[in-house]
Amino acid sequence: MNMIDSALGVHAQALSVRSRRMELLGLNIANSDTPSFKAKDVDFKSVLQATHSSSLSITNKGHVPLTASGSPDGEMYRIPFDTSFDGNTVEMSVEQAKFGQAAADYQATLNILENRIGGIRKALRGD
């Protein structure tokens, strides 16, 4: 781990995972009327735990990281509260609520990173 990675901590990875989650939730919302579409989500906690406790290491940029669930980026299908006749598992109210929370989480993580980077800048400039 280099000095920048250690200074930013887990927040750089967290931002990437939160970004992927928002992408998936957006896809779910966009496909709410698509027959047989299965809603996906990311288990944020398990992805971060897996990246820190994994005994596997990426030795080549082409390698795909695996998480505890066995899928890249911790993607998983969501089990719906209600079933639909067309096989679509997207529940619009659930997706919208999760997207709103994910956006707030993303912004909070971004703010933390901005503060850390600002601290590094001050240290480098000697402020």
Q: Please report which helix (H) or strand (E) contains residue 31, including its range.
A: none
3-state secondary structure 85-105: CCCCCCCHHHHHHHHHHHHHH
pLDDT of 60-107, one tens digit each? 555 545 444 445 568 899 888 887 899 999 999 999 999 999 999 999
- Indicate if the pLDDT at residue 58 is higher than 60: no
Residues 6+ apart with CB under 8 A from 40: 24, 27, 28, 75, 76, 77, 78
pLDDT of 26-57, one tens digit each? 999 999 999 999 999 998 888 877 766 654 55
pTM of the model: 0.75
Annotated domain spans of the chain: 10-125
Q: Pseudo-torsion of CA 75, 79, 85, 88, nearest 10°? A: -20
